[in-house]
Every structure is written in C-alpha cells, then in structure tokens.
Amino acid sequence: MTARATTTWISGPVLRAATDAGFLMREAVAVGEQRLLGEVIRVARNEITVQVYEDTSGLRPGDPVEGSGRLLSIRLGPGILGHIFDGLLRPIDVDIGDLDSAWVRPGMREASPSRFRFRPRVDVGDRLAPGGIVGEVSAPDSVPDAADDDDGSAGGRRLHQRCLVPPDAAPGEVIELADAGIIAEDAAICTLRTDDGREYDIALSHHWPVRLPRPAAKRLPADEPMLTGQRILDCLFPIARGGTASIPGGFGTGKTVLLETVAKWCDADVIVYVGCGERGNELAGLLAEFLELDDPRTGRPLLDRTVVIANTSNMPVSAREASIYTGITVAEYFRDQGLDVALMADSTSRWAEALREVSGRLGELPGEGGYPAYLSSRLADFYERAARVETLAGERGSVSIMGAVSPPSGDFSEPVTNHTRRYVDCLWALDVRRAQARFYPAIHPLTSYSNSAAGLARWWHSEGCTRWETLRRRFLTLLEDEARLERMARIIGRDAMPVRQRLTLICAQLINQAFLRQSAFSDIDRYATPQRQAVMMRLIGSFIDAGDKLLEQGVPPEHISDAPTFRAIMRMGEEIPEGDWERFSELDRELSGTVRRLAEEHVRST
Ligand code: ADP
Ligand code: MG
C-alpha cells in the first residue's frame, strides 16, 4: 500500500506534509495533481519534509503527497549513453541551440525504454552472482557478432555495453534466457532462481538509488594515469584512473574550457558531464561540439559515448543538488561494466549553493559562509566515490572525478574550495594573472599539486620515458626558483643578476612557453599523446643540461637563448604535430650542434 500525506507548508523547493503513514527516509514521492517528483528528506512523528525536484509554483496546502515505497532511484540502462538528462536522469527534450528554454515535463519520471541488440554470454543452468555478466548489449543497427572479440573498451570500435545482474540482487541459477536479438530495455531477458527458490527477472536496465554507492569487489591501487592530453596535467599534476581533481578558479579563468578539453581528449571510455548551475548556452555549445567532434577512439561523434546531465541555472535548484549524485551513479554503472569513466562537474560551487538554499529553507543552523555544517561530509561522499576497482564480475573499471569550483571573487579560502581540497588527489588551481595574460591553460604551477605523481612514475617508465619523475621534479624546482628570482629581477634588473640565475629564468621561460602553454583551440596542440609529451619533456631536459654545461665553460646564458634552436624549441608545440618524431630528433641534433658551436666560439673569443 502506498503511503499518503497532505501538504501543510511550502517554501520554494521544500514542503512539509502531515501523515501518519510510514514513509521511508529518502523515499521518492509524487506531489500534487501534476505528480511532481520529490524526495523525503526528513521524517518526524506525524510529518515528513520533502524536497521537490520541479518548480513548485501552483502547489498549495492540502495537495496530496504519495509515496512510491522505494528510495529515490534512477533507471540505469544502455539507453542513457549519448543522451542528455536533467539532475534526476529524466530526458531533456532539447533543441540543442536552445538549452536555456529546455525543460522537463512536470511529473515526468524517466526515459521511455529504447531497443538494443542483446547477445547472451551465459546458458540456461549457469549460476550468476550479483554484478555478473548476462550478456553484451549494442546499438540495434550494429553488426550482430561484432561483440565477439571485444573486451569492452572503446578501442577503435563502437562501445559495447554489458547487461549485468543488478548488484543488489540475489545470486541464482539461469532458468530462462532470451535468444540473441533486438529487445526493449525494460523487457526480461533472463530469469534467475535463487537458492531459496524465488524467481526474478533481469532486464537490460535496472533501478538504483542515486545516493547509494554501487558496490565493487575491491579497490585497486591508483597506478595508471588518466591521460588528459594536457601536458601541464599529465606531466606535472597527473590524475590517476580512479583519482580526483579539483579545479578552483575565478570567473573567466578557464574552468569550463579545461573540463571540456579534458572531456574531449582524455582516454576514458565514457564521459559523464554534469553541467551544474552554469549557463545553459555554454552547455548547448558543448553539446553541439560533442556532436560534431569525431571521436579519435571510435570514429563516431563524441556524444555517442557521453552522458550529459544538465541542471543549468534556469532549472530547479533542488534537482541541481541531486545531479551530482545522479552523475556519479551513472558513472559507477559504466564502471561496473569494466569501463573507464571520467566525470566532469561544472560547477560544484553551484551545487553547494543549492545545498545551502535547501538547508536555509529547512531552518538549519548555518555554518561557515552560510553553508550547512554537512557541506564537508557531502563533498567527501561525492569524491570518495571515485575509484579504480575490480568489479563484482572480476573486471577492471574506474571512475575519475574532476570538479570545477568557482570561489566568489576568486578567494580560495572560502568553504567549498577549502573543504574540497581535503578530499581530492589533485588540485589544478587556475590563476587570474595567467588567464589575464592569456596564458592557457591558466593552471598555476606553484599553487597546484598532485598526490598521485609518485604512483604513476612507473607507468611512464614502462612507456619508455625513464626520466619522467626526474624531469618533472627538475621542472617544478626551476618554476619555483623562477618565482623567487622574478621578484629579485624586478628589484635589481635582470642584467645585474648572476649568470646561474639568469640561466634559471631562461629555462623556466622555456618550460612555461614551450611545455605548459597549450591552446585548447590549436589544431596541432590541443591534445598531446604521452609519446609526444615525453619527447618534448626530454628535449627541454636536454636544453637544461646543455645550459648547465655551457655555463660551466663560461658561456653567458643569453648566447643560448639568442640561438635559433632556442626559438625553435619554444615553438615546437604549435609547429611539430603528433607523430613527426623525425622533426623532434632534428631539433635535438640542432641543439647539440648549437652547444658545440657556442663552446667553440667562446674558446676562440677568450
Ligand atoms: P570559466 O569557466 O572559468 O568562467 P571559461 O572556461 O569560460 O572560464 O574561459 C573563459 C575564456 O578564456 C574562454 O572563452 C577562452 O577564450 C579562454 N580560455 C580558457 N581556457 C583556454 C584554453 N585552455 N585555451 C585557450 N583559451 C582558453
Ligand atoms: Mg565556466
């Protein structure tokens, strides 16, 4: 029997209702005649408090609240890939040019099921455990047997999904099984009989409560990088698969461009992009680009392996609060199929503001900055769901999280930035001055960090970049020295500085301009493979060594920076494309030649 209550009080997205029925905490409810979607967020003796995920205008005391008997859940299935949803995974019907006016029909629950090609991987009589693989799922127009040699990754082909036994279901024996063929997402494909004789059906899709982390067999160490194609990230502040990064930055410093660039080029199988409280037209631009962009991994539009969750600034504020959990639940669903997932959230500050607004309506005691006292633990709950795991089916999958933070007036000491810092592995701090100088990505090399670098050195080593860790440290040290010396240079002037310090400034300039600077809009440089990054890193390393050597021989550092080779290395990012290793080698040879020539000239002149 469904529980019922009667609305007594409404304030924005929050309402109270009188009841003597037993509602569950976090139960999904239908509110009013329009059956608006809500969630029970507080249960008292004769009253429940409900957070409504739609516009509550027009509701009034007396309106009915009807329970559903289950926790607020979303339906996870193959149909979500390549689509755009609101914060509760309800499909947004959208003309992409017009996201600002996109809306979800009031009371709308979930996407209507679509059809997929299913191919069983078990037989009648087999035993299946929770999270076990029932079969392969692909688009209905895909080649029927293409799944044969597919390992689940997107390697050059269309992504094949899996149908799994829901992780919270009981183990059992397969007693009925659909044949390979095309089938609706919600139709039964398999019936299991549990040990105690119960029978239940499995479909291609299943429901899962958004706030409940999906189980995995175990967490795996973070020793594989999630490559972003951005040199400053992959080489200086790398994120591991299953890792977390926070991107704080004031208005216009490049948070959105950075998240989008990483979404486009990172080596994840699936992208979950949560547009949270930011402008609708920005997200519309992203969608248009993702539709156009041919994905290098599959040769199809990038949008095909992306899930967009949109709660732009014009949509109800409480759905924004849920969107973060919806996003991470969707990400875990793909992780459980043995895929690597990257989740981008832009911006977690807008999410925290939604939390603050709802908390205020509830009359909770405000903490720092007006945010509720549980802000910190909510942030922890979110970031802790990032992981690289062994799935229940014994495969490997991961969810990596990157969240933008927009601190008001760029002040990084505010609560959201501050608390987030405690829970992430990497901080990619955007710097207003770098952005103003149009130095992109405007990630500041001294205020940013990565706690994952040590664990990833071995991976770079195995890829043949044996000096990765050494060069990384060298670069960071030079950049630190630069900051100190720049101050001195401003006081006493560069010319008055000792040669060693002048050389440091030249090397740091090279690292900044030739390596860290990378335009998201350059056809050649918007993305760099680890091979290209390693070659560039080595070349700059050779320059630094050459500078040291010449200095020992008494050659002034300006002789090196005036040489054409220096300028050529400076421009290599924009000029030498992926795969043109010969030109990189040529540059290396030129550098050795220049060093020899400068040394000889110097000997002759003294
Ligand atoms: P935010 O989201 O932090 O407010 P945006 O990401 O919208 O800022 O960036 C503002 C502008 O800065 C962009 O429109 C673009 O012109 C420029 N920009 C930011 N990042 C880059 C980048 N990596 N490469 C080139 N231009 C960039
Ligand atoms: Mg932005």
The per-residue pLDDT for range 57-71, each reduced to its tens digit, is 999 999 999 999 999
Question: In a 3-state reduction of DSSP, which class is residue 19?
Answer: coil
* 255 Cα–ligand 2 center, Å: 5
- How many residues are there in the chain? 606
Supply the residue whose CA is at minimum distance from atom 17 of ligand 1. 254
Q: Quick one: tokens of 587?
A: 């540059």
pTM across the whole model: 0.94
What phi, psi does 458 have (nearest 5°)?
A: -65, -35
Amino acid at 185: E
| 257 CA: nearest ligand 1 atom | 6
Domain assignment present for residue 438? The answer is yes
- Which one of 257, 432, 439 would you pick to mutate in the ligand 1 pocket, going by the greatest count of ligand atoms within 8 A of its CB? 257
Judge if 336 and 424 occupy the same domain.
yes
Residue list, ligand 1 pocket, CB within 6 Å: 249, 251-258, 261, 440-441, 519-521
Supply the residue whose CA is at minimum distance from atom 19 of ligand 1. 254
| 254 CA: nearest ligand 1 atom | 6
Q: Quick one: tokens of 451?
A: 């706690």
Which of 454, 486, 518 is at the close of a domain?
454
Judge if 290 and 378 occupy the same domain.
yes
* 249 Cα–ligand 1 center, Å: 11
CB 536 within 8 A of CB 515: yes
| 406 CA: nearest ligand 1 atom | 3
What phi, psi does 566 have (nearest 5°)?
A: -60, -45
DSSP label of 146 = T
| 441 CA: nearest ligand 1 atom | 23
Ligand nearest to the CA of 259: 1
Supply the residue whose CA is at minimum distance from atom 12 of ligand 1. 254
* 369 Cα–ligand 1 center, Å: 27
Nearest to 580 by CA among 540, 510, 525: 525
Q: Where are the alpha helices (DSSP H) in 159-311?
A: 231, 255-265, 280-292
| 253 CA: nearest ligand 1 atom | 3
Domain assignment present for residue 103? The answer is no
Ligand nearest to the CA of 436: 1
Domain assignment present for residue 78? The answer is no
Ligand nearest to the CA of 517: 1
CB 222 within 8 A of CB 240: yes
Domain assignment present for residue 513? The answer is yes
For the chain, how many structural domains are there in total?
Answer: 4
Which residues have C-beta under 5 Å from ligand 2, the single-atom ion? 255-256
* 414 Cα–ligand 2 center, Å: 18
Judge if 433 and 334 occupy the same domain.
yes
Largest CA distance in the chain: 99
| 251 CA: nearest ligand 1 atom | 4
Q: Where are the alpha helices (DSSP H) in 424-563?
A: 432-436, 453-462, 468-492, 499-510, 530-552, 557-561
Supply the residue whose CA is at minimum distance from atom 10 of ligand 1. 252
pLDDT of residue 95: 57
Judge if 198 and 246 occupy the same domain.
no
Question: What gap in Å lies between CA 575 and CA 10, rounded to an integer?
Answer: 61
Give the sheet arrangement for strand 199-203, strand by strand: 127-128, 172-177, 188-194, 199-203
Judge if 236 and 275 occupy the same domain.
yes
Judge if 508 and 594 occupy the same domain.
yes
* 181 Cα–ligand 2 center, Å: 44
| Positions of the chain with pLDDT lower than 50, given as ranges | 102-104, 146-156
Amino acid at 470: T
Alpha-carbon distances, residue 463 vs 223, 240, 542 (angstroms):
13, 16, 19
pLDDT of residue 153: 45
Cα dihedral across residues 378, 380, 385, 390: positive or negative? negative
Judge if 446 and 474 occupy the same domain.
no
Q: Which residue has the tokens 């299935």?
A: 77
Q: Which residue has the tokens 């220096």?
A: 566
* 454 Cα–ligand 1 center, Å: 30
Domain assignment present for residue 92? The answer is no
Which secondary-structure segment (H or E) carries 183? Answer: strand 181-184
Give 286-289's long-range contacts (Cβ < 8 A, gap of 24+).
286/260, 287/84, 287/96, 287/99, 288/96, 288/97, 289/260, 289/264
Ligand nearest to the CA of 257: 1
E strands present in 165-257:
172-177, 181-184, 188-194, 199-203, 206-209, 218-219, 244-248
Nearest to 65 by CA among 36, 43, 90: 36
Query: Residue 22 is part of a domain; what is its CATH number?
Result: 2.40.30.20
Q: Quick one: tokens of 191?
A: 């019936």
Judge if 435 and 584 occupy the same domain.
no
* 286 Cα–ligand 1 center, Å: 13
Ligand nearest to the CA of 283: 2
Query: Residue 547 is part of a domain; what is its CATH number?
Result: 1.10.1140.10
pLDDT of residue 130: 96
Question: What gap in Å lies between CA 525 and CA 529, rounded to an integer?
Answer: 10
Amino acid at 187: A
Judge if 422 and 489 occupy the same domain.
no
Cα dihedral across residues 550, 555, 558, 560: positive or negative? negative
| 520 CA: nearest ligand 1 atom | 24
Supply the residue whose CA is at minimum distance from atom 9 of ligand 1. 254
pLDDT of residue 285: 81
Interacting residues of 569 by C-beta distance below 8 A, sequence separation 6+: 510, 514, 539, 540, 543, 587, 591
DSSP label of 512 = I
* 259 Cα–ligand 2 center, Å: 9
Question: What gap in Å lies between CA 191 and CA 209, rounded to an integer?
Answer: 23
Question: What gap in Å lies between CA 412 and CA 429, rounded to an integer?
Answer: 9
Domain assignment present for residue 494? The answer is yes
Question: What gap in Å lies between CA 11 and CA 2, rounded to an integer?
Answer: 25
| 519 CA: nearest ligand 1 atom | 24
Q: What is the dihedral of CA 283, 284, 286, 288, to 10 degrees?
A: 170
Nearest to 494 by CA among 545, 570, 558, 560: 558
Ligand nearest to the CA of 443: 1
CB atoms near residue 478 (< 10 Å): 23
Structural domain containing residue 295: 220-454
> What's the Rg (C-alpha) of the chain?
27
| 278 CA: nearest ligand 1 atom | 2
469 burial (CB, 10 Å; 0-12 / 13-18 / 19+) is middle
* 328 Cα–ligand 1 center, Å: 25
Domain assignment present for residue 304? The answer is yes
Ligand nearest to the CA of 258: 1
* 444 Cα–ligand 1 center, Å: 15
Judge if 510 and 428 occupy the same domain.
no
pLDDT of residue 158: 62
Domain assignment present for residue 566? The answer is yes
Judge if 142 and 254 occupy the same domain.
no
Distance between the two ends of the chain, CA-based, in angstroms?
A: 98
Q: Quick one: tokens of 63?
A: 């309106």
Judge if 438 and 534 occupy the same domain.
no
* 275 Cα–ligand 2 center, Å: 10
What phi, psi does 511 have (nearest 5°)?
A: -60, -45
Question: What gap in Å lies between CA 602 and CA 592, rounded to an integer?
Answer: 15
* 252 Cα–ligand 2 center, Å: 7
